[in-house]
Amino acid sequence: MIHLHKTDPVSLQLFVTAADAGSLTAAAQNNGISLAAASKRIADLEHHLEVKLLVRSKSGVVPTAAGQSLYQHALQVLARMEQLVLSMKDFESGATGQLRLAANTSALAGFLPDVLAHYNRLYPGISLDVEDMLSEEAVRAVETGVVELGIIGENTVMGALERIVCDEDELVFLLPAHHPLAEHASIDISDALQFNFVALARSSSLSRLIGTQAQLLNMPWKIVIQVRSFECVCRMVAAGLGMAVVPSKVVRSLVQDDQVAVRPLRGLALRRRLVMAMRNQGSISLPARKFVDLALQKIEHK
């Protein structure tokens, strides 16, 4: 009975080297073993495969017909094993794998696309799995292991998750160009709350921030329409449906016409931070670790 499970890569490599060199002595030297050890390995290989592989003579060795067939297969097997080793080395270095990430709208409309593009250029072998989620949804996705990293608003309840600040932006008012408040150099939140708003979902971290401030002022927050993205927010504001609070980076990337006005705000925390949330920083995968490192480098070079 042929015992393939006893056929090891070292013996296959030794056989290939012997066939190429026409010498078992040369094969032994190239593989760093004694001639006796090389001879035994070839004998064991022939025993396990139940065929004669090499014809030995004073001038060297020559593969038999079975040996020639094994030679071709052995080359393929050894090449695939080399690919396997290189692939595992890539995983060890973080050059391949998968990055599973959930991000809120502010991150997707702000700093994240540039970071992801840079990451993809550095590590083209890593596949990106990025989902658009509300901050609370992203927290649950991290907690349940659906994703490794969540990029969310700092004011989101995160429980025991670890967090690292990854971006900071300034909030501004976006309003239709002919809005009554557009003539003001800056706008107080208490004045703005007297008018209609376009907003993200109430459960978004930014909407919670505005809603909390409205409650503190004991004023209603008049939301005309809620949308899922800042692109839609900007379009609704440009159409004249209401004003909105948006990160300044969103304005720079999405607003390019004269249908809207941008004004500084007062009465609300101007600076808003986004954080990367994870279950355990020390146990995240190498693709995730490389993303964290790259995002932090981006912050340091701002």
Q: Per residue in 272-284, pLDDT tens?
A: 889 999 988 888 8
Confidence label for 6 from pLDDT (cuts 50, 70 and 90): low
Q: Is the pLDDT of residue 291 over 80?
A: yes
- % of residues, the chain, pLDDT over 70: 91
Mean pLDDT to the nearest integer, 210-227: 94
Q: How many angstroms separate the Cα of 214 from the Cα of each of 63, 193, 209?
A: 86, 7, 9
Q: Is the pLDDT of residue 259 over 60?
A: yes
- What mean pLDDT is reported for the chain? 87
With beta carbons less than 8 A apart as the criterion, state whether 250 and 109 touch: yes
* H-run or E-run covering 56: strand 54-57
Amino acid letter, 184: H
What pLDDT score does 202 carry?
A: 86
Confidence label for 298 from pLDDT (cuts 50, 70 and 90): confident
Q: How many angstroms separate the Cα of 288 from the Cα of each of 107, 154, 183?
A: 17, 20, 46
Mean pLDDT to the nearest integer, 100-127: 91
With beta carbons less than 8 A apart as the criterion, state whether 95 and 290 touch: no
Q: Is the pLDDT of residue 299 over 80?
A: no
Q: How many angstroms separate the Cα of 92 from the Cα of each of 89, 129, 160?
A: 5, 20, 28
| CA 7 to mean position of chain CA atoms | 39
Mean pLDDT to the nearest integer, 207-224: 93
Question: Distance between CA 113 and CA 153 in Å, rounded?
Answer: 17
Mean pLDDT to the nearest integer, 56-82: 86
Question: Distance between CA 111 and CA 98 in Å, rounded?
Answer: 21
Q: Which range has the worst mean pLDDT, 83-97, 103-117, 192-206, 285-299?
A: 83-97
Under DSSP, the state recorded for 6 is G
Instruction: Write the pLDDT tens digit of every residue in 123-175.
Output: 998 999 999 998 999 999 999 888 999 999 888 899 899 999 998 888 999 99
Confidence label for 215 from pLDDT (cuts 50, 70 and 90): very high
Q: Is the pLDDT of residue 260 over 60?
A: yes
Confidence label for 10 from pLDDT (cuts 50, 70 and 90): confident
Q: Which of these, 171, 269, 263, lies nearest to 216 by C-alpha position?
A: 269
Mean pLDDT to the nearest integer, 36-50: 89
Confidence label for 261 from pLDDT (cuts 50, 70 and 90): very high
Q: Is the pLDDT of residue 302 over 70?
A: no
Under DSSP, the state recorded for 220 is -
Put simply, whether the predicted model's pTM sits higher than 0.85 gets the answer no
* H-run or E-run covering 12: helix 9-21
Q: Is 273 helix (H, G, I), strand (E, B) or coil?
A: strand
